[in-house]
Copies of this chain bind each other. A is one copy, B any other.
Amino acid sequence: MSINSVLCRDLGLQYPIFQGGMAYITTGKMAAASSNAGGLGLICSSGLTAADVAREVAVAKTLTDKPFGVNLMLQSPEIEKIMQIVLENKIPVVTMGAGDPTPFMPALLNAGVKVIPVIPHVKAAQKAAKAGAYAVVAEGTESGGHIGEMTTLALLPQVLAAVDIPVLAAGGIADGKSMAAMLLLGAAGVQIGTLFLVADECPIADAYKQSIINAIDTDTIVTGRGTPHVVRALKNPMSLKYAELEKQPGTQAERDRLADKASVKAVRGDVEGGCLMAGQISGLIKQGGSIAAIMQRLMREAEATLAGAGRLLG
C-alpha cells in the first residue's frame, strides 16, 4: 500500500514530495539527493548567476538519473539566460515564487516543461491555471522564508475549490500525519522546506540546523509586513533587531545593512547575524537524518495514518 498521486504518475516520482527550493541552500547536490530518495529535488536559482545554475544542473545530472527541477527566481537579472539553461537541459519541472509567471509560460510550455507556481492566494492560482500551469503549490504563511498571509489550512481548500489542476500543500508540514491530513483535504502532494534543512545532505552549517532542532513553536518572527519582502525566520539577534527597527521611522538604511547577505551568513553558520529562515513547524522537528530516511519516515507515517483513518469512526 502506497500513496497514489497523480504527481507520481505525471512526474515520474516515487513519492509526492517536493523538496522546496531554498536560496543558497538547495544546490544540485541536495536536489539530486532528494530525487534519488524518491521525491522531487529542486535547485533554487535565487541568488545564482546563469553560470551557477548551469553548474548546479550539471552536478545534479551526474548524481541522479531521476527527474529534478529548478526553482526560478523571476526577478533575476539573468532570468532569460537561466530559462535557456532550463530548456537546453530539458529540465522537466520548474517552480516559481513571487512575480508574474505568464511572460515565461509560452516558452516553457512549448518545450513540454511542467510549470508549477508557488501561490499565496486564490487569484494567483487561477491566473497560473489559466496560463497553463501543470499544478500550483499552495503555500501557507507558516512557511519559512518569503511568505503570504493565508495559512495552509485556510488556503488549500479555497484553491482546490477554484482550480482544476493538481494542488500541492506547503507550510506547516513536517511529519507524515500532516502530510496525510493535506492529502485527505485533496492535495496531490506536499512541498517541504524546513524539515529538509536539518537533513544530512543539506549544506547549511550545523549551527543553523541545531537552531531549528532547538526551536519551540513561538520561535519564529515575521519581518517586512506591508512591504513586498515579508520573511519568516527564527528569532535571533538579527531578526529581533530588524523587527525593533521596523517600529522606528527613518531606519531603512540601518535595516538594509542588517539584512545585507543575511541569508548567506545564516547558511555559513552565523546564527547571530544571519537570517535563519524557517517555518513555524520548526518546534516539531527534533530529528535529522538522510533525506532518504526523512522521506521514508514521512511516507510510512502518512500511509499508516491514512490506512488507520477508519478507526476514527465507530
Contacts and interface: CB of A to CB of B under 8 A. Distances in A.
Contacts of A171: 151, 153-154
Taken together, the copies of this chain in the complex come to: 2
A178 B153 contact: yes
A172 B156 CA distance: 10
Contacts of A158: 217, 281, 283-284
A180 B141 CA distance: 22
A89 interface: no
A181 interface: yes
Tell which of A121, A142, A281 has the most Cβ of chain B within 10 Å. A142
Contact of A152 (B153, B185, B279): B153
A258 interface: no
A21 B122 CA distance: 29
A17 to B, nearest CB: 14
Contacts of A152: 151, 153
A313 B174 CA distance: 20
Contacts of A175: 157
Interface string A119-151: 001110000000000000000111000000111
A4 B314 CA distance: 5
A245 interface: no
Contacts of A140: 151, 153
A70 interface: no
Interface stretch (A24-32, A96-104, A266-274, A299-307): A299-307
A1 B309 contact: no
Contact of A151 (B181, B183, B185, B280): B280
Contact of A122 (B150, B155, B217, B225): B217
Contact of A150 (B178, B182, B218, B247): B218
A306 B303 contact: no
Contact of A313 (B3, B150, B314): B3
Given A4-B312, A217-B122, A279 B184 contact: no
A128 to B, nearest CB: 15
A133 to B, nearest CB: 18
A144 to B, nearest CB: 11
Given A3-B312, A309-B310, A314-B2, A172 B151 contact: yes
A244 to B, nearest CB: 11
A182 B140 CA distance: 16
Interface in A166-182: 171-175, 177-178, 180-182
B122 A313 contact: no
Given A140-B151, A141-B151, A161-B284, 12 more contacts: A141-B141, A154-B281, A157-B281, A157-B284, A177-B184, A177-B186, A184-B184, A184-B306, A184-B309, A303-B313, A309-B310, A310-B310
Interface of A: 1-4, 121-123, 140-142, 149-155, 157-158, 161, 171-175, 177-178, 180-186, 216-218, 225-226, 247, 249, 279-281, 283-284, 303, 305-307, 309-310, 312-314
26 contacts: A1-B314, A4-B312, A121-B218, A122-B216, A141-B141, A142-B151, A142-B154, A149-B218, A151-B280, A153-B173, A153-B178, A153-B281, A154-B281, A154-B283, A157-B177, A158-B281, A158-B283, A177-B185, A178-B185, A180-B309, A184-B305, A184-B309, A249-B249, A307-B313, A309-B309, A309-B310
